[in-house]
Structure 1
Amino acid sequence: MTPAHTPENPHSKPLVLFLFGRMSSSIAFQMLGVAVGWQMYAITGSAWYLGLVGLAQFLPMVLLTLLAGQIADRYDRRTIARTCQFIEALAAVALAVGGYYNLLGKEVLLAIMVIIGSARAFEYPTMHALVPRLVPREQLPRALALSASANQTATIVGPAVGGILYAAGVTTVYSTIGLLFLAACILISCIQPASESTRPEAVTDRSLFAGISFIKQHPVVLGAISLDLFAVLLGGATALLPIYARDILITGPWGLGLLRSAPAIGALAMSLWLARRPLKRRVGRTMFRSVALFGVATLVFAVSQEFWLSMAALVVLGAADVISVVIRSSLVQIETPDEMRGRVSAVNSLFIGTSNQLGEFESGATAALFGTVPSVLIGGIGTLLVVGLWIRLFPQLAQVDRLDKR
């Protein structure tokens, strides 16, 4: 085996293929978020239906995540990931065809998002469980920062391109999304088979819930994951960006694309910095500070009526969020043995999905009840309260000093 293929090389061919595969899939998903969000709001004019788009992706994750983790620990993770990406490509083609023949009503959009959400319930934990097989343990935080960089690059490019292509027509944007999912499928297929063998452990109640049991027994991991869950659940305002773009900041699909890209601009800059200069000391306290900054940035965005200030707040929000993401991901992967990574990553993805997709539903529901700006303000204040409470509930997390010593 050549050095380019050995896991000891942090810039090995498998890692490069993985990064580009993740970037392609993430670009497609971000483009999909802009296109479906704008189309749903254009059809319904309702914040409630924007929230339902998030719920349509979240419910399959709740129902399938534990099974997905079990499968990721028993079968070839590359095969699982590329199968999911192929299904997502087919769903995007269905949207393109439906757009061409003017068949995309709100029910059709929600149904297809359920399919995509089901595929991502398997793809997300599987892709995360792949990373530790590509690099040695001591280089995992840097590899995760590079993975975050790839994801955030996609989050910058995807929404902007999605907004531009949506202006060219729904068939154009959905067709492009399908090609990107297909490209991700091919790239993941090209990764050399991992050295791990299939694990024949039978699916039992104990094995199915092993990820939950593991997290409950490790307070640092539980605190890190749950902090992200409640902070982003309360502080996320992504679902309301179409309303901010059209009704508050008075812009169009291109403006929505830029707003969705703004958090990723800050996140990309920070993740590249962390890849070059990994966090060395006081990582627990750094995580709490970053989540608090996330809440403050949310409050600024909530009250802003200037496009440039809203963009700046979202950039800061994204930079703060990625610090928390890298620390949390490193803690989860380093603390977890490889034979458990699929199941633990599945539970982690459920928490992330709860904070993202259910957070979108929460934002849409509270906006429908209280108004858009009060909804985001409530979320920002809630994030700051969660930080204070979690410092008291999980003092072990605040005391974590170094990642490479765990």
Structure 2
Amino acid sequence: MKVVLGVSGGIAAYKACELLRLFTESGHEVRVVPTREALKFVGAPTWAALSGNPVSAEVWDDVHEVPHVRIGKGADLVVVAPATADVLARAAHGLAGDLLTNTLLTATCPVVFAPAMHTEMWQHPATQANVTTLRERGAVVIDPAVGRLTGADTGPGRLPDPAEIFQVCLRVLRGSPRDLAGRKVVVSAGGTREAIDPVRYIGNRSSGLQGYALARTAVARGAEVTLVAANVALPDPAGAKVVRVESTAELREAVLEASAYADAVVMAAAVADFRPATRHDSKIKKTDGEPEPIRLTKNPDILAELGERRRRASAAERGPEVIVGFAAETDDVLANGQAKLARKGCDLLVVNQVGEGLAFGTPDNAATVLVAGGDAVEVPFGPKEDLADTVWDLVATRLA
């Protein structure tokens, strides 16, 4: 497919070289369209060598080929990374002072913006208004990451990891609908750990891959995503607000807080059912004889609590309209799933079989999505992104 990579004049322009490499190595034809300011950070020869295509910031170069119209009309995707506050403002107001803004005006394909700027610039009402305008027109504007900026500054405004921007772009290229635009969703991912002592814990095998696939897909479909990640060693999905937790108690607190104003909650995390009744303050020493048994106590049932809170909410209170649970089973998968769906009070329950080489820690998954009311949707074995799309298809239908 043909991708236009717009690069604007921010210090993060050098990171776009990595994004360009990811596109070209995956077989896409890329035309880089920098702004004049971007060429002060990375020169035209670099972009031309990496893309194999000519590079210009001006509408006056090769006028006989009408590049200010042809480039945008012939693209399957336009992605601007980094997108400065200036470019966002010019795009929102339809200005066309260079080749990039002309390309944005003539593009009929999906457009993705990956902003990068100082925190004060990102949070300024003018920038936020421009972002809202672009999103209302159908563009995907990825929220910037939180981290180190130019100099000693830290905060929201950092360009997301290029590999994560690439993942969002792939989902947009797949034709992800914008049916979650304006919606707030919460996704939990990973596996909780319950401390035995300062060194040891009770945990599970969940890697967080499915939850992260759900978060990335929701971003590509236009949602404002809060990802509650329990002990996950994965890069933050571009555009998602990530809240890191360790225990079930911490995950419960984060999910309940985030879900108070969410339209949908997807509980993909593997939450520990039990925790040690007593947590030792110092490491348990190995002694002669058998160790003392560890007495367990039940953890809160977060999924059931979400359903119960929604059931008891008054008309004035707002809670998630759609609640999705996950059930990892080893035996009697569907029977256990049906019982759990009835017990938890959720709208959808994703049931999958787990075990050695199944679901946990693998890039692929297969599942049955049980729908309150009796329907079931089979998702054949395939990439976890496919299951994520099925889940959001069902969520979007219920939200609509």
TM over 0.5, shorter chain: no
Q: TM-score range by the shorter chain?
A: under 0.3
Name the structure, 1 or 2, with higher relative contact order (CA <8 Å, separation 6+): 1
> Which structure has the highest helix share of the two?
1
Q: TM-score, normalised by structure 2?
A: 0.22
